[in-house]
Amino acid sequence: MSEGYESRTAGSRRLFERAKKVLAGGVNHNARFYEPYPIFVSKAKGQHIWDEDGNRYTDYWMGHMALILGHSPEVVVDALRRQIPDGTHYGMGSKLSIELGEEIQKDVPCAEAMRFCNTGAEATMYLVRLARGFTGKRVIIKMAGGWHGYNTELNKGVHRPFDRTESAGILEEEQSFVKNVRFNDLGAAEAEVKRSRGDVAAIFLEPVLGAGGCIPAEKGYLKGLGELADRHGILLAFDEIITGFRVSLGGAQEWYGVTPDLATFGKVAGGGLPLGLVCGREEIMSLADPTRKEKFVSIGGGTFSENPLTMVAGLATLRYLRKNAKVVYPSLARMGEGVRKGIDGEFADRGVEAHTAGLGSLFLTHFGSAPVNAEQAALEGKETKQKYALGLMTRGIFMLPGHPSGVSTTHTARDVQELVARSGEFADSLSRNGKRL
C-alpha cells in the first residue's frame, strides 16, 4: 500500500534519512512520524501544502488544526509585516497582549482573566497548578485518551491501555495524583470522585476528545460533570486547545452552554504562531498576581511569552473570526458535516464499516462502529487508518495518519467533494484487495 507513496516521495525519504542523523528519530514532534517516513513540506498557502518532491496536497492537518484561516492568510501576513520592523521580541509588556486578552474576553465565557504562554503544554501545566493552589486539593481527574501536551503529570493514560505513563523517565510519583476515567461516562467520574475522598482539585477534559478519537461530549455529559464538580467543591476545567475559536467563537464551552471554572487555549488563538493560554474565573486567576502575599501560584515564566508576533497574528485572526462569525462558523460546520457524511457514505456503499467522528470542522474516520470513548476508538482499524491516510496522500490529500483533521475557511465545497471521492477510490482499493474489515 505504501509503494505509490514511496514512488512519489523520494526527496522526502532522502530528507528523512538526513534528519535522522541530526534530529532524534528524525522528527521534532512524535506525532509527525508515520510509516514508512513522513513527507517534508517545502511550501504552504491557503488549503495547500507542497512537499520536497513538488507534490501538491490539499491539507486537512492544517498545522495541528491551528490554521483555521488556512496557511499564511493575508490578514495575518499583513499584521506580521507591520509588526516585524517594530520588534520581533520585547521580553516586556506591550499593548498587544492587553488587546489580545480583551478580544478573548469578549468571546470566551469563562475568560475573566488569563495568562499567555508559548505552548499548550505550558498552559495545561499552569492550569493544574492553579486548580491545586485554589482548592488546596491534589487529585486531577482526566480522561482516558485525553491529550494535554507534553505536560509531565498529565502525560498518562493517553494511549492504550489508558492507565499508565506514556514515557520512561517520568516517575510514578509524579503522576500519582492524576486519575484517568472513561470519557462520556458520568458514572466513572462519580466513582473516581468517591474513591479520591474529598481530594479532587479539578476534572479536566477536552470537550471534544481530540487525540483520543475526535469524539464529542455527548448531550448532558459536560453539564453532569459540572454539577458533580459543584456538589464536591471541585473545579471544572476544559482543555480548549483544539476546540477554542474553532467549534464556535466562544469555543466548546459556548457551543455546549457549559462554562468551566478554568480553561486552556492555544492553536487558533495564536493565528499560526506559538501560543498557549490559561484563563478562568478572576477569583482563581488572581492567585497568579505576583504582588500576592498568600497562596501565590507561580505561573508565567517564558522568555517569549506575549511575543509581539504571536500577539498580532492572534489578534488579526480573532478579529477576522468575530467580524465574519456569522458566515465562517456555519460554513465550517457545513463542510465538516459534508466530510463526515460523505466519507461514511462512500465506505458504506462498499460494505466497509466506517464512522467519521467529529464536531463542526473537526473529523476523524474510524474503521469499526462509532466510538464514544478512547477505549472504543482504539479497539480496531488502526492499520486501516494508516493505509487510508497514505492512500489519500497518493491522491493529493494530506491528513496525519490516525489524528483528527480540520477544515479551514480556505477549503471549498469542491475540496470536500474531492476528499469524499478519493475516499471512495480508497474504499474500492480495499475491496479489490479483498480486505475484510
Q: Closest CB to ligand PLP among 46 and 120?
A: 120
CB-based contact 25:48 (threshold 8 Å): no
Shortest CB 123 distance to ligand PLP, Å = 7
Residue 340's region, left for phi above 0, alpha for psi from -120 to 50, else beta, is alpha
Q: Closest CB to ligand PLP among 149 and 381?
A: 149
CB-based contact 268:244 (threshold 8 Å): yes
Q: How far is CA 155 from the centre of its chain?
A: 15
Q: Closest CB to ligand PLP among 113 and 241?
A: 241
Task: Tell me whether residue 2 is exposed, middle or buried, using C-beta atoms within 10 angstroms of its C-beta: 0 to 12, 13 to 18, 19 or more.
Answer: middle
Q: Closest CB to ligand PLP among 50 and 150?
A: 150
Q: Closest CB to ligand PLP among 311 and 416?
A: 311
**Beta-bridge partners for 41:** 51
Residue showing the smallest CB distance to ligand PLP in the complex: 120
Short-list 255, 215, 221, 219, CA closest to 236: 221
Shortest CB 424 distance to ligand PLP, Å = 29
Site for ligand PLP, rule CB under 6 A? 64, 119-121, 124, 147-149, 206, 210, 239, 241-242, 266, 276
Residues 60, 62, 67, 68, Cα dihedral to 10°: 10
The three three-digit cell numbers of residue 26, written as one number: 528524525
Per DSSP, 225 falls in state H
Shortest CB 412 distance to ligand PLP, Å = 26
Shortest CB 242 distance to ligand PLP, Å = 5
Per DSSP, 248 falls in state B
Cα–Cα distance, 103 to 388 (Å, whole number): 39
Cα–Cα distance, 105 to 265 (Å, whole number): 12
Sign of CA dihedral 315, 318, 322, 326: positive
Shortest CB 183 distance to ligand PLP, Å = 13
State which amino acid sits at residue 37. Y
Cα–Cα distance, 8 to 420 (Å, whole number): 22
Shortest CB 277 distance to ligand PLP, Å = 11
Shortest CB 362 distance to ligand PLP, Å = 11
Q: Closest CB to ligand PLP among 189 and 241?
A: 241
Q: Closest CB to ligand PLP among 148 and 246?
A: 148
Cα–Cα distance, 404 to 398 (Å, whole number): 12
Q: Closest CB to ligand PLP among 206 and 261?
A: 206
Cα–Cα distance, 278 to 133 (Å, whole number): 14
Q: Closest CB to ligand PLP among 276 and 391?
A: 276
Q: Closest CB to ligand PLP among 241 and 288?
A: 241
Shortest CB 105 distance to ligand PLP, Å = 21
- The bridge status of strand 139-143 relative to strand 200-205 is parallel
Shortest CB 275 distance to ligand PLP, Å = 8
The three three-digit cell numbers of residue 378, written as one number: 482504539
Burial 145-172 (b: 16+ CB within 10 A, else e): bbbbbbbbbbbbbbeeebeebeeeeeee
Q: Closest CB to ligand PLP among 96 and 123?
A: 123
Taking residue 417's Cβ as centre, other Cβ atoms within 10 Å add up to: 13
